[in-house]
Every structure is written in structure tokens, then in C-alpha cells.
Amino acid sequence: MTIQEAASALRDRKVSVLELTDDCLKRIGVRNPELNAFLTVTADEARAAAKIRDEELAHGRDRGPLHGIPYALKDCYCTAGIRTTSGSRVFAEYVPDHDAAVAVKLREAGAVLLGKTNMHELAYGITSGNPHFGLVRNPVDPERVPGGSSGGSAAAVADNMAFFAMGSDTGGSIRIPAAFCGTVGLKPTTGRVSRAGVLPLDFTLDHMGPLTRSVADAALVLQAIAGYDPADDSSSREPTGRYLPHGELDWKAVRVGVPENFYFDRLDPEVHMAVRQAVQTAAHHGAQVKTVRVPDMAAVNTVGRVILLSEASALMEPYLDQRGQFGADVLALLDQGRLLPAADYINAQRLRRTMQRDFARLWQEVDVLFTPTVPTAAPRIGETSIQIGDAMEDVRLASTRLVRGLNVLGVPAISLPCGRTKSGLPLSLQMIAAPFEEARLLGVAAAVERW
Amino acid sequence: MLEPMKDWKQLAAARDLNIPAEQLERIVPVMEGLEASFRPLARGLKPEVEPAPVMLVHPERHA
């Protein structure tokens, strides 16, 4: 059931908020022992909130499409009175006295918080194999990773434990788990959604966004959480749009760009075929499909790595005398960041500016780019390298290869399901648009979803 | 012009980073790979290009 379907059932009195909430809690009780998607379940608080939302509806107070919808927050979103770990032993006992700005907006929109989801330690990795709180398993195949770092959020949504879940995306951490688990994952434009009150991984690449079971649901959540927030220095005053797609898309008015370089290199053949098929279908519906040359995305990725390594290490520097508090993979990244000289960081931020300008020229030619989200389906748990074509590639670098650069550039991107492999694993399509063009991006994505 | 790569182990020692030797052995190849990709990019920067993040002054917060 999607948010839209649940919202409709609530207003038709076919179900109550408390029943929806209890169904989710029951599902969590059954499935979480295996999947480990939730670190904290706030069942009592959720039921209490559900009763209030039911009473509001009974008295004619309707907060909108998220009223009474049970959801989860990745455990890096601060929640007043509820432990917020960021998947780290360093913050294992941290209980904030405030809510993240997104959590406040969702409460005002009437959503019901079920709990906090497991994640890759500090949001610094793509497997969600958390050494402190246990690994998250992919609900489609529990022997495979769910992706990360928002792996618990993706697993919870894919397995019907929550109607939606919030994630964070610094180098693909919403889109990768969405792709591996078969959900929708939206990384909005930099500054579109407030980062205030979220334990950061870095200063200039973090983005907050939803994981959902449909594109329309992603639009509904974005509508609730988008907007200027003076508490976040990166927050934009750009007016928000009308994000929920409405009516049939006029494909003839859509210019679809297909990169001729980078994005279709070194892909699993099933991924390649699924995305090419989506492009062909868009053309069949009348879209103007154009082959475009994108700027050097490998270089953008390199710049992104320098920025992330430097900023994450600067953030965690006060804790690095407690080396035993970190998992091996995260500690290795933090040590790499400590070695980078300041001049490299500054030059990376200078290169970022030139790359943003180069990439922006694309939007004169096309409205939306179609690319794969990840080069393969979900890897097996414990795999550190993966076969892609004839070559072996590091799982982390391969999984972030097609997504990381967009955090450097700040453009919005969405990952949506795009078929299955022969073995039944989810395949995905990434769509990218110009800054603050989320409405257009979601409109095209919703049309693709209907095929 | 062939430029020497950074000696990451000496850098770690000089800055007293307290990174264990076995960890350095693991991460030095990664740093060398990153350096090899990054250095040519940085070399092409023109002096007038400023960093992406800028200092923001919000007068309304000081009113």
C-alpha cells in the first residue's frame, strides 16, 4: 500500500491511523529480527500519536496527505528524547533535546513516527554492515546488502514496515539503497530540504530526502519537508514547487538526455539493458531523446572524494583518539581524510565550482538525464569486490560511481525501480534534472513508473 | 614534468597523526591512487577560480 492509498483509505474510514500504525508495528515485530532495519522502535509513542491523529480526523482537522501515515527516520536525524546514534558507538547513548527540522515538519504534517532505522556507521559507507548494531539485510534477498548508508530506511520501506522513511545522501546514500531494495529514493537539490538537526557526515555534500514505494509518495513527502530554513546555512530561498505529478505527461515536450560517455561504461549487462529499454520506451512515447556528452564525471567523483574525506575527518577529529570506537572501514576513511593537506581540500572546492558551471550547460539541451543508479544489482553480504563484465571492482567505489558526482554538483536526482534481474533482484533507473527542477523530475519519473 | 608523489607515511609522522603502521600500509595505496587522479585536475585550476563554499553573512541575524 502506498501513502496515497493509505490516505484515501483513512478518509474513507476504511482504516484508522491506529490500525495502520499497529499493522506497521506488527510487521516490524515479525521482520525486524531478521532484517535489522530498525535500531529503535517507539511503539508506545507511535500509538499515542496515532490516537491523536485519529481524533483530529474525527473532528475534521485534516493536516494533509501525510496525516496519520506511519514512517521512520534514519538514525542520524535528531529526535528529542529518543536515542540518535548515527550508527556509531561514539553516539550510542546520545539522546538529543531537539528534533531535526525535517522531523518537526513531518509531525506538523501529521505523520506518525515509528522509530529510527539502522544505517552504515556515521552514514560513511554503502553496505549498512554496521559493526556496532548489526548488519541490515536486503528484504528481497537477505543474503545480500540493502545498500547504504540509508539501508535500514530502504529495507523498512521495501518490506512494508513503514510507508516511507527518511534517508540522507552524501555520495548516493539514498539512491543506492533504493536501487538495491527496489524502492524510490529522492535526493533533492542542495538547499531544498533543511539539514538542521541531522548529525552530519560532512558540511557540503549531505542531502536529506525520502525513500518511498512510489514516485507520487516521494513527491508528497518532499512537499511536506521542502522549503527555506534559517537554521541551515545552505538552505535556499528558492520557492518550492507543486511536486505531486498531476495529469498525463506530455512526452513530446520532454527532452531526455542519454549520456554517451561515463554512465554506460562498465555496467552489468542486465542493468545496461533495463536503462536502455527505459530510454527506448520514452522515445516510443514521443520524448525527444538526445545523446549528450557529460563533463568528466570521473573527475567530479575524485573531487567529491577529496571533499568528503576532508570534511568527514574534520568533523570526527575530536573523537579520533578513541580508535576502538570505529569500525575498520570507517576508520580507514577517516585516516585517509586526516592525511589530505588543506590545499587539496580548497582546490577540490575550487574545481567543484568549475564543474558545476560545466554541468549546468547540459540543461540548455535536455530536461532530464536517464542513467543507471548503480552498475550492478545488490552485492552479496561480505563481498568487497564485484565482477562487472571482465573486471573486478571495489564494491564501495563501484556502487558510488554513478551517484557520488551529483552531490558535488548539487542537482536533484531520483532512483526508481526499472525491472528485475533474471534472478529477481531489483534494477533501477536514475533520473537527473537541473537545480530546483524537482517538479519536472518527479513528473517524468511518475510517467515512467506507470509504464 | 614528472612530480614526485607525496610520502604519506612521512606526512603522517610529521603531523603526529598517530595512525598505526599497519593502517598506513593499507591506506597509502588508496591515497596514491587518489593523488594520481586529483593532481592533474588541481594543476589546471586558474587563479581566479574561488572555492564553492563561500562565507555567508546574514545581516538579519545581527539585527
Cβ within 8 Å, pair B41-A351: yes
Q: Is residue B37 a contact partner of residue A340, using CB atoms and an 8 Å limit? A: no
* Residue B6 pLDDT: 84
A40 touches chain B (CB under 8 A): no
B13 touches chain A (CB under 8 A): no
Q: Looking at beta carbons, which residues of chain A come within 8 Å of B30?
A: 332, 336
Q: How many CB pairs under 8 A join A and B?
A: 76
CA angle in degrees (0–180, nearest 5) for A113-A115-A120 = 130
How distant is the Cα of A336 from the closest Cα of chain B, in angstroms? 7
Comparing CB atoms, the residue among B30, B56, B61 nearest residue A336 is B30
Mutate to test the interface with A, among B41, B56, B62 (most CBs of A within 10 A): B41
Phi/psi at A388 (5° precision): -125, 110
Partner B, chain A 327-346, Cβ-Cβ below 8 Å: 331-332, 335-336, 338-341, 344, 346
- Single-letter code of the amino acid located at B15: R
Q: Is residue A77 a contact partner of residue A84, using CB atoms and an 8 Å limit? A: yes
Q: Looking at beta carbons, which residues of chain B come within 8 Å of A346?
A: 51
- Compute the distance between CA of residue A256 and CA of residue A433 in angstroms, rounded to an integer: 10
pLDDT band at B59 (very low <50, low <70, confident <90, very high): low
Q: Looking at beta carbons, which residues of chain B come within 8 Å of A335?
A: 17, 19, 23-24, 27
Q: Is residue A245 a contact partner of residue A447, using CB atoms and an 8 Å limit? A: yes
B58 touches chain A (CB under 8 A): yes
CA count, 13 A, side-chain hemisphere, A16: 13
Where are the alpha helices (H) located in A36-187, listed in sequence order?
Answer: 43-58, 101-108, 151-158, 175-181
Comparing CB atoms, the residue among A233, A332, A354 nearest residue B49 is A354
Q: Looking at beta carbons, which residues of chain B come within 8 Å of A230?
A: 58, 61
Cβ within 8 Å, pair A336-B56: no
* Residue A389 pLDDT: 84
- Compute the distance between CA of residue B19 and CA of residue A336 in angstroms, rounded to an integer: 10
- Compute the distance between CA of residue A438 and CA of residue B45 in angstroms, rounded to an integer: 32
Distances in whole angstroms, Cα of residue A130 to Cα of each of A125, A134, A147, A153, A164:
9, 5, 12, 14, 22
* Residue B63 pLDDT: 43
Cβ within 8 Å, pair B51-A335: no
Region for residue A138 given its phi and psi (left: phi exceeds 0; alpha: psi -120 to 50; beta: otherwise): beta
- Single-letter code of the amino acid located at A102: V
Cβ atoms < 10 Å from Cβ of A387 = 12
Q: Is residue A83 a contact partner of residue A94, using CB atoms and an 8 Å limit? A: yes
Cβ within 8 Å, pair B52-A353: yes
Q: Is residue A45 a contact partner of residue A83, using CB atoms and an 8 Å limit? A: no
| Helix (H), strand (E) at residue A426 | strand A426-433
Q: Is residue A75 a contact partner of residue A166, using CB atoms and an 8 Å limit? A: no
Comparing CB atoms, the residue among B26, B37, B61 nearest residue A302 is B37
Q: Is A87 exposed, middle or buried, given 0-12, 13-18 or 19+ CB atoms closer than 10 A?
A: buried
* Residue A252 pLDDT: 97
3-state secondary structure of A418: strand
pLDDT > 60? residue B31: yes
Cβ within 8 Å, pair B31-A332: no
Where are the alpha helices (H) located in A326-437, listed in sequence order?
Answer: 328-339, 342-360, 395-400, 404-409
Minimum Cα–Cα distance from B38: chain A residue? A302
Minimum Cα–Cα distance from A356: chain B residue? B52
β partners of residue A386: A393
Residue numbers of A annotated as active site: 74, 149, 173
pLDDT digit string (tens) for chain A, length 451 residues: 999 999 999 999 999 999 999 999 999 999 999 999 999 999 999 999 999 999 999 999 999 999 999 999 999 999 999 999 999 999 999 999 999 999 999 999 999 999 999 999 999 999 999 999 999 999 999 999 999 999 999 999 999 999 999 999 999 999 999 999 999 999 999 999 999 999 999 999 999 999 999 999 999 999 999 999 999 999 999 999 999 999 999 999 999 999 999 999 999 999 999 999 999 999 999 999 999 999 999 999 999 999 999 999 999 999 999 999 999 999 999 999 999 999 999 999 999 999 999 999 999 999 999 999 999 999 999 999 999 988 999 999 999 999 999 999 999 999 999 999 999 999 999 999 999 999 999 999 999 999 9
Nearest to A231 by CA among A199, A203, A197: A197
Comparing CB atoms, the residue among A335, A338, A352 nearest residue B52 is A352
B59 touches chain A (CB under 8 A): no
Q: Looking at beta carbons, which residues of chain A come within 8 Å of B17?
A: 335, 338-339
Sign of CA dihedral A198, A202, A204, A208: negative
* Residue B53 pLDDT: 74
Cβ atoms < 10 Å from Cβ of A81 = 11
How distant is the Cα of A341 from the closest Cα of chain B, in angstroms? 9
Cβ within 8 Å, pair A339-B23: no
Cβ within 8 Å, pair A332-B23: yes
- Compute the distance between CA of residue A101 and CA of residue A85 in angstroms, rounded to an integer: 17
- Compute the distance between CA of residue A167 and CA of residue A154 in angstroms, rounded to an integer: 8
* Residue A12 pLDDT: 96
Mutate to test the interface with B, among A339, A344, A346, A355 (most CBs of B within 10 A): A339
